[in-house]
Amino acid sequence: MKGKYHVIIQNNRIKFEFDIKRNITIIRGDSATGKTTLINLVETYERLGDESGISISCQKQCKTLNNSNWESVIEQSHNCIIFIDEETKVITTTEFAGKIKESDNYYVIITRENLPNLPYSVEEVYGIHTAGKYADIRQTYSSFFRLYRVNEKLNNGVSDVLMVEDTNSGYEFFNAIIPVEINCVSAGGKTKIRTLLNEYKNSKVLIIADGAAFGSEMGELYLYMQSNPEVCIYLPESFEWIILSSGLIDGKRVADIISNPEEYIESSESFSWEQYFTKLLVEETKDTYLHYNKSHLNINYLNMREKDALVNVLEVIKGNLGIH
């Protein structure tokens, strides 16, 4: 399944309206914010249809699953949007992750858990906002809002430490382009970033990680950043996305994909957008001087023209990196 879908779910008391464009969407929030109501509306409509007094407007079928039927629902559903309540404990298991990885559905998961088994984007973690009421039927309007605002503290001066998620090509590139006075360190994986920050207290730290799969780590880190304003974070989709966005890979197709990735990324083939962008970059640069290897940086990306093209994509953090 691929594409962006506008969803409207409502009865005479409440209306939810939102867009879904990735295979995994996470909804968080406190009690009484409408999360359970949303699930109940979908489940009731699924059982009773129009007789329920509920209407669902979407190009794809909307369904629910629970602890007892989760495997059969996933196996028997194709190109559906499946809503899952936080009471469905299976969402924390590797078995669940394996099942949805192979499926062609989109999943909207209501949970307060971080779900490290699922590579979901930091941009697809939402709360529910309730606006005013329509005067005639007193219908409450609810929409989603992004829970994390990650770019608001960028460009707060040159960083003392640049912390990069992994040890591969991305790390090698950033380590090569920054001034020697900035300490460039690899966290050795997204799950180690928060712990590594303890070694750099009172330092101005810029974190760079793959936003396409960083959602599970963002909750704890975001709280830390609120009380440690010297720490900021930049979350592009991935390092491969930076290269593809630079214009170095010519062609209308690549430009179209970068502009509207949801129209090209098949959920059953790529568990996260980071996986898709890596595969695309490898394919597009095969047998060229820019051939890409995720584990080791091709030295040609550090040529002046190529390096400048990538740095231009990083405009929002050039000040943090000490690049002018």
pLDDT higher than 50, residue 134 = no
The rounded distance, in Å, linking the Cα atoms of 292 and 169 is 9
Give the lowest-confidence range in 13-17, 78-82, 304-308: 13-17
Same domain, 140 and 167: no
Residue 24 has a pLDDT of 95
Residue 130 has a pLDDT of 73
Residue 154 lies in a domain: no
Same domain, 283 and 184: yes
Q: Tell me the pLDDT band of 252, cut-offs 50, 70 and 90.
A: confident
What integer is the mean pLDDT of 21-37?
A: 81
Same domain, 115 and 172: no
Q: Tell me the pLDDT band of 154, cut-offs 50, 70 and 90.
A: low
Same domain, 118 and 261: no
Contact of 298 with 291, CB cutoff 8 Å: yes
Residue 136 has a pLDDT of 42
Residue 226 has a pLDDT of 87
pLDDT higher than 80, residue 142 = no
What integer is the mean pLDDT of 160-178?
A: 95
Residue 142 lies in a domain: yes
Residue 181 lies in a domain: yes
What integer is the mean pLDDT of 85-104?
A: 92
Residue 135 has a pLDDT of 37
Same domain, 130 and 214: no
Tens digits of residue pLDDT in 272-316:
999 999 999 999 999 999 999 999 999 999 999 999 999 999 998
pLDDT higher than 70, residue 228 = yes
pLDDT higher than 90, residue 189 = yes
What integer is the mean pLDDT of 223-231?
A: 89
pLDDT higher than 50, residue 26 = yes
CB count within 10 Å of CB 41 equals 26
Residue 117 has a pLDDT of 93
Same domain, 236 and 267: yes
Same domain, 168 and 315: yes
Please count the structural domains in the chain: 2
Q: Among residues 146, 172, 201, which one ends one of the domains? A: 146
Same domain, 130 and 20: yes
Residue 250 has a pLDDT of 83
**Mean pLDDT for all residues in the chain:** 90
Residue 258 has a pLDDT of 95
Same domain, 132 and 46: yes
Q: Among residues 146, 179, 200, which one ends one of the domains? A: 146
Same domain, 312 and 182: yes
Same domain, 139 and 22: yes
Residue 71 lies in a domain: yes
**Enclosing domain of residue 91:** 5-146
Residue 283 has a pLDDT of 95
Residue 86 has a pLDDT of 86
Same domain, 241 and 117: no
Q: Among residues 114, 146, 178, which one ends one of the domains? A: 146
Residue 152 lies in a domain: no
